[in-house]
Amino acid sequence: MSKIVVFNGSPRKNGYTAKLLEQVVKGAKAKGTEVIEFDLNDPGIRGCIGCYYCRTHAGCAVKDYLQPMCEAIKEADAIVFGSPIYYYQITGQAKVWLDRTFPMIENDGHTITPRYPGKRVITIFAQGNSDPKVGADGIKYITNIFESYGWKLEDSIQFCGTNNPNLQKFEELSLKAFKDGENLVR
């Protein structure tokens, strides 16, 4: 059975990011995939403490809500990440999570080696501004980090203009997200 891990960086439980992530999950589950979800807005998440425990161990020393994340990623076939774009970048909640993904690489000071390469990735972004260029640098930032982990971006969905949403476009993206979830299963 396939397994995916979903990371939701939105503080809004029913926002567009959460709704699109939900469609990916529904598509994956429709194909019999096991899904593990992490809500990055959980108040039990602490930031990286820079202890470098992860340089000599396969996980993170911080004992909190994200403690099982490294093992979940290791066992997963695919990763799904979603975040609204706030001030041209992912949310603060998502950035704290991204810092905590430091164990995804081994770094001996000279060479960076992915610990769990080969994961397929779907990303979801929503932003109030209708111009996709506004979030482009933030999205590229995430994509570059995922590439350094040896993860392959399968699709990236960006819903722009949430302040005055085009609901027909949102429905199209919802269908695309569902199909992406189905396609994660191989």
Q: What residue ranges do the domains of the chain occupy?
A: 3-183
pTM of the predicted model as reported, rounded to 2 decimal places: 0.96
Buried b (16+ CB within 10 A) or exposed e, 115-129: ebeebbbbbbbbbbe
pLDDT digits (tens, 9 = 90+) for 84-132: 999 999 999 999 999 999 999 987 777 889 999 999 999 999 999 999 9
pLDDT classification of 46: cutoffs 50, 70, 90: very high
Whether pLDDT at 174 is above 80 = yes
Interval 15-42 mean pLDDT: 97
Please report, as a single letter, which amino acid is at residue 68: P
CATH class of 3-183: alpha beta
Residue 185's pLDDT is what?
Answer: 73
Distance CA 125, CA 159 (A): 6
Beta strands in the chain (DSSP E): 3-8, 34-39, 78-86, 89-90, 105-107, 112-114, 120-127, 152-160
